[in-house]
Chains A and B, each alone.
Chain A
Amino acid sequence: MNTPTPTAAVDHLDLLESHAIFILREVAAECERPVLLFSGGKDSAVLLHLAAKAFAPQRIPFPIMHVDTGHNFREVLEYRDQMAEHYQAQLLIAKVQDSIDQGRVPDPGPLGMRNRLQTVTLLDAINAHTFDAAFGGARRDEDKARAKERVLSFRDSFGQWDPRHQRPELWQLYQGKVNPGEHLRAFPLSDWTELDVWQYIQRENVPLPAIYFAHKRPVIKRNGMWLAAGEFVHPVPGEVIERHLVRYRTVGDASCTGAVLSSASTIADIITEISTTNVSERGATRADDKFSETAMEDRKREGYF
């Protein structure tokens, strides 16, 4: 018998973690076929880590799914496969290219942005697998439309979110019943901020893809953002390829996710960096949020993450 250690004072990370684990267990218990959406980004990395903790020593009792735009960072794909193997999780891959080949979405061309197209691929996969709940790593501090969303967010049989008619969600009574064809999005990290996520990654040693840390990369400046030059982004007349020390604050489609100039090479460096930044995470790195005032709300209504 080992003597239990005295319990340390409960801090806000403990409470956020416990709340997230509570949501994971509640949805897993109430829904028939949940799935965890895994992009390989830091938020889904934390979500996967929490799912493993919530059900240990059993395996995670639902599959994980990557919606693959085909515009990937090599490091992220390697990381995705490593994590699936590490947690012995069933990995499903839903490919936007398949949706294009099947004529479900228009082909934007080899270099076109594919972020919005993911919605169709995601909804088709949810239908095909008859998932009734999809866990996502979205946080309310990311965007003003997300700030409005429930922890369990109802989607009708068209996959749509109706922000005017959300279910009341009182206390921590998360009720996840849906009729066939409908589903829920479940956001265990709703109340986490970007800083909370990084502090938690530091505390728990959550592994991350290498692109989150400073590295030299050929980049092109386009609309104020540094895009990785290479397979998916080519310079147009007037643009030049430069080499800079950069890192990524978010992981998304490689054709529209920007890098930030940074020398932060450790998690402690990153925490210092984001504690003092003047620019939001999506503002710094996502071209697709700059289309209109309510770009995220419009995508979410259609069924986006």
Chain B
Amino acid sequence: MTTETPVELLRFATVGSVDDGKSTLIGRLLVDTRQLFDDQLDAVAEASAKRGVGDLDLSFVTDGLRAEREQGITIDVAYRYASTPTRKFVIADCPGHVQYTRNMATGASTADLALVVLDANQGLKEQTRRHLCIAALLGVRNIIVAANKMDMADWDRAPYDAVVKQIDELGERLGFESSLVIPVSALMGDNVVERSNEESWYEGPTVLEALEQATAGSWSSSNSGARLPIQWVLRQNGGGRTYAGMVNGASLHVGDAVTLLPQNLETTVRAIKGVRGDGSEAAPGLSVDVDLASDTDAGRGDMLATAPLPTVTREIEATVCWFGETPLSTGTRLRLKHTSRTTPARVSDLHGVVDIATLDVAPGEQLAMNEIGLVTIQTAEPLVVDDYRDNRVTGSFVLIDERTNATVAAGMVGHVDFL
């Protein structure tokens, strides 16, 4: 076990419209790679028989809630774990229904890659465009597209070619680095794990092969310096304090010159204690505690950073995806959580609302549920931010309703080129 070379971890999210077959595809992937235990498979078969939906409704593998099985839709993200000899996968099977866009965004926010599932016979629907747009905003750069239900098209090449053309056009606009389209039948299992015998015109990889070859770990890639948002101050035996948090952006090293922000105090990293003991370096994604060379009065919400330094500001330009049932209007007092700091905030200006169909930005007074807008936000306390495209951790925030504590928006500092 421990002598094996470490396998890479790929986190991916399924995106696409309701009823195009996302959950069925994931069910197929898990069954055909033998990730399910016998009793789990028996339970899916039993539930399928009970509801009269055939021998084995593959969507029941991830649609585990009573309401989901009754309605045949996915309501919330299911997280599943799979491994092959070369890869470990964390799969977020997301809902397709527009009403549950917030849950899709939850699943896609930590994904390295989006697995887009669409019905090849119907082409790219508005909801699929919405999901792709949100995935692109969230920083997903690579997509694999399963052109599904090819069995219904008798494996005719024309609908597949049409999907390729649509995806190429949209992908170029949204700035995806790669977008591979694979003709599949999730129901029959063609080109998911097993290669299809139904067609001879497709020579590319299966869905599983494509997932095994895709770039892993792109979520934490970054153009910023090292960042350590302070979560907790640890008092050491015999006096002294160290600062605990998770490193992001770039590796932090002993001896690094760091700036404590927003105080703007320069100091040096004297020691790094990681979860495996003392080390000279801490990579992004590791929880550490850090000893600084000079005595500082740092606390939760402050940040240690190496050059190039982030911006300290009380006013940010941002892209927000609104999830609240009541529309966002300017001036409303909210709470904003950014890294380990939470502060009162208000949206002072709504510059525009994104039209999902055209990706144009039009003026608007309000932002309704599931709409995306460009805003200016003012905060009571200074924030230490990077542009979201440079660093997903220090460039992201959520907005919180002060009365109910509900999370009502996901925000990204700056805006993407296509808006």
Contact = CB atoms under 8 A, between A and B. Distances in A.
A82 to B, nearest CB: 24
A173 interface: yes
Interface residues of B, number: 77
Interface in A263-281: 268, 271, 277-280
Interface string B351-385: 00000000000000000000000000000000000
B35 to A, nearest CB: 10
B392 interface: yes
A114 to B, nearest CB: 24
Contacts of B232: 25, 28-29, 54-55
A86 interface: no
A168 B300 CA distance: 24
Given A164-B67, A297-B65, A6 B281 contact: yes
Contacts of B275: 14, 17-18, 21, 53
B213 interface: no
A142 B392 CA distance: 30
Contacts of A203: 2
Contact of A7 (B271, B283, B335): B283
Contact of B280 (A6, A150, A191): A6
A17 B287 contact: yes
A18 B246 contact: yes
Interface stretch (B100-108, B162-170, B257-265): B100-108
Most buried by A among B232, B277, B279: B232
A293 B246 contact: no
B41 to A, nearest CB: 9
A11 B5 CA distance: 10
Contacts of A245: none
Interface in A166-206: 166-173, 175, 177-179, 190-191, 193, 199, 202-203
Given A15-B9, A144-B78, A148-B76, A168 B285 contact: no
B209 interface: no
A191 B81 contact: yes
Contacts of B140: none
B276 A8 contact: yes
Nearest to A293: B47
Contacts of A271: 1
Contact of A178 (B271, B281, B405): B405
Given A168-B410, A170-B398, A172-B393, A191 B90 contact: yes
A236 to B, nearest CB: 24
A143 B64 CA distance: 8
Given A12-B6, A147-B64, A177-B405, A293 B79 contact: no
Contacts of B79: 140, 147-148, 190-191
Contact of B279 (A7, A143, A268): A7
Contact of A4 (B2, B272, B340): B272
Contacts of B236: 57
Contact of B340 (A7, A29, A164, A179): A29
Nearest to A296: B64
Given A15-B9, A170-B105, A297 B64 contact: yes
B64 A278 contact: no
Nearest to A50: B275
Interface string B399-410: 010001111001
A170 B396 contact: yes
Interface in B78-104: 78-81, 88, 90, 102-103
Contacts of B392: 171
Nearest to A11: B6
A141 to B, nearest CB: 5
Interface of B: 1-2, 6-7, 9, 37-40, 43, 46-47, 50, 62, 64-67, 69, 75-81, 88, 90, 102-103, 105-106, 109-110, 231-232, 234-237, 244-246, 254, 271-272, 274-283, 285-287, 300, 323, 335, 337-338, 340, 342, 392-393, 396-398, 400, 404-407, 410
Given A17-B275, A293-B69, 17 more contacts: A4-B271, A9-B6, A14-B276, A19-B246, A19-B287, A148-B76, A168-B323, A170-B109, A170-B398, A171-B396, A173-B398, A175-B398, A177-B335, A177-B405, A278-B38, A293-B43, A297-B64
19 contacts: A7-B279, A17-B275, A19-B287, A21-B275, A26-B231, A163-B67, A164-B76, A167-B407, A171-B393, A172-B110, A173-B396, A175-B405, A177-B405, A178-B405, A271-B1, A278-B37, A283-B37, A293-B50, A294-B64
Interface of A: 2, 4-12, 14-15, 17-19, 21-22, 25-26, 28-30, 53-58, 140-141, 143-145, 147-148, 150, 163-164, 166-173, 175, 177-179, 190-191, 193, 199, 202-203, 268, 271, 277-280, 283-284, 293-294, 297-298
Across the A-B interface, give the 5 residue pairs with the lowest CB-CB distance, nearest first: A144-B64, A283-B39, A18-B287, A280-B37, A4-B280
